[in-house]
Amino acid sequence: MKCPYCSATDTRVIDSRPAEDGSSIRRRRCCDECGKRFTTYEKIETIPLIVIKKDNNREQYDRAKIEGGILRACYKRPISASDIQKTIEKIETEIFSREEKEIPTSVIGEIVMEKLKELDEVAYVRFASIYREFKDVNTFMSEIKKILEK
């Protein structure tokens, strides 16, 4: 590992432990040349995932888009930031555990709605109203009735 201070290539690991997210390893390193310490993170390299949009265009998977949608759905709801991050991680785990190179946005949307329903019903309805493109109040009410029946 190259030292960020002096660019020497002789560095050694002092301490290793799982990072807070549990999906990467945090390593404390020391440079043998200048003696300065720094931290690195190792993460499992994943296969690039391609998302198939509704119009059949394809683009690379972007976690920020899921985060944005969930944050909008959870806006002004009593949900902690850690619960939102855990939900996003559950969604990503389910998406990547399918081991597919391409995944339609419809599948991602259904996974997100399933996890939001577990997290907060109001956030779920907010997300569903945009994702399913509710055209009128009746569609909105039928979705709410489904929740109330359970």
pTM assigned to the model: 0.66
Residue by residue, what is the 3-state secondary structure of 73-122?
A: HCCCCCCCHHHHHHHHHHHHHHHHHCCCCEEEHHHHHHHHHHHHHHHCHH
The pLDDT tens digits for 103-126 are: 999 999 999 999 999 999 999 999
Spatial separation of the C-alpha atoms in residues 9 and 115, rounded to whole Å = 44
Residue with tokens 């993460």: 43
> Tokens 């509704």 — which residue?
54
Res 140: pLDDT: 79
**Strands 11-18 and 24-31: what pairing?**
antiparallel
Q: What is the model's pLDDT at position 136? A: 80
pLDDT of residue 95 exceeding 90, the answer is: yes
Check whether 11 has a pLDDT greater than 80.
yes
Phi-psi region of 76 (alpha: psi -120 to 50; beta: other; left: phi over 0): left
Is a pLDDT exceeding 90 seen at residue 28? yes
pLDDT of residue 45 exceeding 80 = no
On the question of pLDDT at 132 being above 90, the answer is no
